[in-house]
């Protein structure tokens, strides 16, 4: 069995190294730059309006949809604020050095614009079911929006995306999360990985069987709490090391173009590797361009697609620009980036060193472990919704319940499989969603342009 897994892992790594990773570099950032320039950095100039929408200023319960703007955002955020913020940042630094963080920032700056475009389109082409519930996501705007341009190939593109979403829900939103949870519980408290796997599987199934409304109810409470909890711990460490902050930022900016490897990771010494890991981990963290968040945002109650697109654009700002940066600063300021540790162990080392200066180093393991458990659990329950929507698109609504039980099974599989195979699989399946989605976004640019013009003509005061 181990030989088979090793062969699979090697094949996946080959794809990631020579195909997937560079395809993302060629498509992702240029697409974000194109939209940002075309729409005059709308995601930044209208940021205040975006926050007004999120706080409920324009909510109307009579609008079609399943959840309000705030719950749509927290559902999408709960899927992105996951192990990428704790483990992914550490892995980016381990392989690409501190400079990888700069490329994560670049990814999020333009990723905000991509999020705006894909979620505007998802609202535009969503499907209202007979029972009033919503089905939406990139597969719908691919099929309906591109049928005149691509004919039958539009359906093919939609099917490829939906199939990749099912795979990604089992990888990105499932195995990568449960693997990290099981790993940290084993490292911190010596709990066997299979025990953690069984417990988490049961908890996930209890939530996801209730569908989007139960998921949104849980995430709307869990996301603000877990973000504040992790934010506070990181801010304390950064404040303690405030004198070193300028040097930390200088290191990030300098290494972004020169490439400096972490201890034991000489492969990060080349600039292109630093760039690739920064973009890959940035995408994994905020999912910009991947199209997954568009599924959650399509369920929002609104009759203005642009309005939900603006809400969605805030997601990467919170997820990567704030939370990931806090993790990175903790790791760099404390010197943990050069400790030789990898993944969650590097983050734990950073918190331990930081808190040791106020005689609270013993809390580091518990802070990181608790934060990772909350982040990963929220990610899994939201990704189960993404996968169920894709399964519904492919096979019909009767397959949603079987999919949910399959999702639970993969929670357990993820907890007992090795971390390298899981993360390599995650990197691969992300490209299967992102590449078709970016192609669709570019082809549907005229539709987005029309929606923006219509919205801001009606609301001229904005």
Residue 36 lies in a domain: yes
Report how far Cα 79 is from the mean position of its chain's Cα atoms: 6
Burial pattern 81-113, b for ≥16 Cβ within 10 A else e, equals bbbbbbbbbbbbbbbbbbbbbbbbbbbbbbbbb
Burial pattern 344-353, b for ≥16 Cβ within 10 A else e, equals bbbbbbbbbb
Residue 395: per-residue pLDDT = 93
**Average pLDDT, integer, range 311-317:** 90
How far, in Å, CA of 236 to CA of 367, rounded? 12
Residue 387 lies in a domain: yes
Helix/strand/coil for 198: helix
Residue 383 lies in a domain: yes
Residue 42: per-residue pLDDT = 93
Helix/strand/coil for 67: strand
How far, in Å, CA of 146 to CA of 107, rounded? 26
Q: Pick the residue with more confidence: 451 or 185?
A: 451
**Average pLDDT, integer, range 189-193:** 90
**Average pLDDT, integer, range 414-424:** 74
**Average pLDDT, integer, range 456-461:** 81
Question: Is pLDDT of 235 > 60?
Answer: yes
Confidence of residue 36 (pLDDT cuts 50, 70, 90): very high
Residue 316: per-residue pLDDT = 86
Confidence of residue 85 (pLDDT cuts 50, 70, 90): confident
How far, in Å, CA of 168 to CA of 137, rounded? 14
* Token output for 418: 């090795």
Question: Is pLDDT of 260 > 80?
Answer: no
Percent of the chain past pLDDT 90, that is, above it, reads 37
- Rg, C-alpha atoms of the chain: 21
Confidence of residue 125 (pLDDT cuts 50, 70, 90): very high
Rounded to two decimals, what is the model's pTM?
A: 0.85
**Average pLDDT, integer, range 399-404:** 93
* CA distances in angstroms from 79 to 85, 86, 313, 387, listed in the order given: 11, 14, 15, 12
Closest CA to 328 of 245, 267, 260: 245
Residue 79 lies in a domain: yes
Residue 201: per-residue pLDDT = 92
Number of domains in the chain: 1
Question: Is pLDDT of 198 > 90?
Answer: yes
Residue 219 lies in a domain: yes
Residue 247 lies in a domain: yes
* Token output for 36: 């940002």
Dihedral angle at the C-alpha atoms of 205, 231, 80, 289, nearest 10 degrees?
170
Report how far Cα 71 is from the mean position of its chain's Cα atoms: 16
Which ranges of 171-270 would DSSP assign to H, the alpha helix?
176-189, 193-208, 211-240, 245-258
Question: Is pLDDT of 266 > 50?
Answer: no
Residue 457 lies in a domain: no
Question: Is pLDDT of 263 > 60?
Answer: no
Question: Is pLDDT of 358 > 90?
Answer: no
| CATH code of 145's domain | 1.20.1740
Which residues form the domain of 206?
A: 2-450
How far, in Å, CA of 20 to CA of 430, rounded? 9
Question: Is pLDDT of 113 > 60?
Answer: yes
How far, in Å, CA of 170 to CA of 418, rounded? 15
Question: Is pLDDT of 229 > 80?
Answer: no
H or E element at residue 395: helix 364-395
Residue for token pair 């069984």: 198
* Most confident listed range (238-247, 285-294, 377-386): 238-247
Return the DSSP state at 128. Answer: E
Residue 175 lies in a domain: yes
């Amino acid at each position: 069995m181990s030989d088979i897994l090793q062969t699979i892992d090697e094949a996946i790594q080959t794809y990631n190294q020579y195909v997937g990773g560079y395809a993302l570099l060629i498509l992702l950032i240029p697409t974000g730059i194109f939209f940002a320039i075309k729409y005059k950095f709308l995601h930044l100039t209208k940021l205040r309006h975006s926050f007004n929408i999120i706080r409920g200023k324009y909510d109307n319960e009579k609008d079609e949809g399943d959840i309000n703007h705030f719950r749509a955002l927290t559902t999408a955020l709960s899927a992105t604020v996951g192990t990428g913020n704790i483990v992914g940042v550490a892995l980016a630094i381990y392989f690409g050095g501190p400079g990888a963080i700069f490329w994560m920032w670049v990814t999020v700056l333009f990723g905000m614009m991509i999020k705006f475009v894909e979620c505007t389109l998802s609202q535009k082409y969503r499907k209202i079911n007979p029972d009033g519930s919503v089905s939406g996501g990139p597969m719908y705007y691919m099929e309906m929006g591109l049928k005149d341009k691509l004919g039958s190939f539009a359906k093919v593109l939609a099917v490829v995306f939906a199939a990749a979403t099912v795979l990604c829900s089992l990888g990105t939103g499932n195995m990568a999360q449960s693997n990290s949870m099981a790993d940290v519980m084993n490292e911190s408290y010596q709990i066997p990985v299979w025990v953690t796997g069984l417990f988490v599987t049961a908890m996930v199934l209890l939530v996801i069987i209730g569908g989007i409304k139960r998921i949104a109810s849980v995430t709307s409470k869990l996301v603000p709490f877990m973000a504040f909890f992790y934010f506070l711990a990181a801010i304390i460490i950064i404040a303690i090391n405030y004198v070193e902050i300028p040097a930390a930022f200088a290191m990030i900016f300098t290494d972004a173009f020169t490439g400096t490897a972490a201890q034991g990771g000489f492969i990060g010494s080349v600039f292109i590797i630093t760039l690739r890991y920064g973009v890959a981990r940035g995408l994994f963290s905020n999912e910009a361009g991947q199209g997954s968040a568009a599924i959650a945002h399509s369920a929002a109650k609104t009759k203005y697609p642009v309005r939900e697109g603006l809400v969605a654009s805030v997601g990467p700002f919170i997820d990567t620009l704030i939370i990931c940066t806090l993790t990175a600063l903790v790791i760099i300021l404390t010197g943990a980036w050069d400790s030789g540790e990898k993944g969650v162990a590097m983050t734990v080392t950073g918190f331990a060193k930081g808190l040791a200066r106020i005689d609270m180093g013993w809390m580091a393991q518990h802070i990181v472990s608790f934060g990772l458990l909350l982040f990963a659990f929220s990610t899994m329950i939201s990704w189960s919704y993404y996968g169920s929507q894709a399964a519904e698109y492919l096979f019909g609504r009767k397959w949603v319940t079987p999919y949910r039980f399959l999702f639970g099974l993969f929670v357990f599989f993820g907890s007992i499989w090795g971390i390298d195979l899981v993360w390599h699989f995650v990197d691969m399946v992300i490209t299967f969603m992102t590449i078709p989605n970016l192609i669709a976004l570019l082809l549907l640019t005229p539709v987005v342009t029309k929606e923006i013009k219509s919205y801001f003509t009606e609301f001229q005061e904005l």
